[in-house]
Every structure is written in structure tokens, then in C-alpha cells.
Structure 1
Amino acid sequence: MKRVEHFIIKLVLVQFLLLLLAQVLLMQPRIAPYLSKVVYYEGVTKGEVTKSLETGK
């Protein structure tokens, strides 16, 4: 049982370190567009202005 517990603790520590690394990389403005797909969903990379329809005035 101790072997399983040690393995789980190591796994949690590695996951935590990878999470911290990912968060640091996403905060870098030069690297974030390559890692995050949000800019594609928002349409920021298209470079063209589209007409918007206003509703609910």
C-alpha cells in the first residue's frame, strides 16, 4: 500500500508542477497565442471587421 501512496503523491506533485508551468507560459504575451485556442474562437486572428447585429435595445 505504501508503494501506491508514494506513486500517487509523486503523480500529484508532477501534475501541480506542470500546472504551474502552463500558467506561467500562458501569462507570457509572446507565447500565449501559440498555446491558447481562445483567439481563434474570438476571431481575433482574421484581421477583418465584420458587421454585428444589435438586438435587445
Structure 2
Amino acid sequence: MAFDLIESLESLSPLEIEQLWTQEALRRSEHIDAQWVALTGADAVSAKAHALLQ
């Protein structure tokens, strides 16, 4: 299944990939604006990453 997903992505043109990224960015922006997701600051993310790597 994962292989099929990777294979399907390889068949897209650069323009199609750019369009998909744009759609995803807009979707995420809408979720942030609607406050459907909680934002996490860079300092908190960095601290958590460092803690997980130790």
C-alpha cells in the first residue's frame, strides 16, 4: 500500500505537485483561522525534539 502511494506521487507533474501543496497550505490556513488546531511555538517544539533525542 505504501509503495503504491509513493508510485502514484512519482507520476505527478511538477505543476500538479505545486497545486497539491497550494491546496494543502490553504486547507491548513483555514484550519488555523477557524481555530480548529492548536499552534505550538518553535521553542516548545525544539524542546520536545531535544527531549525525545536524549
Structure whose alpha-carbon radius of gyration is higher: 1
Normalised by the length of structure 1, the TM-score is 0.46
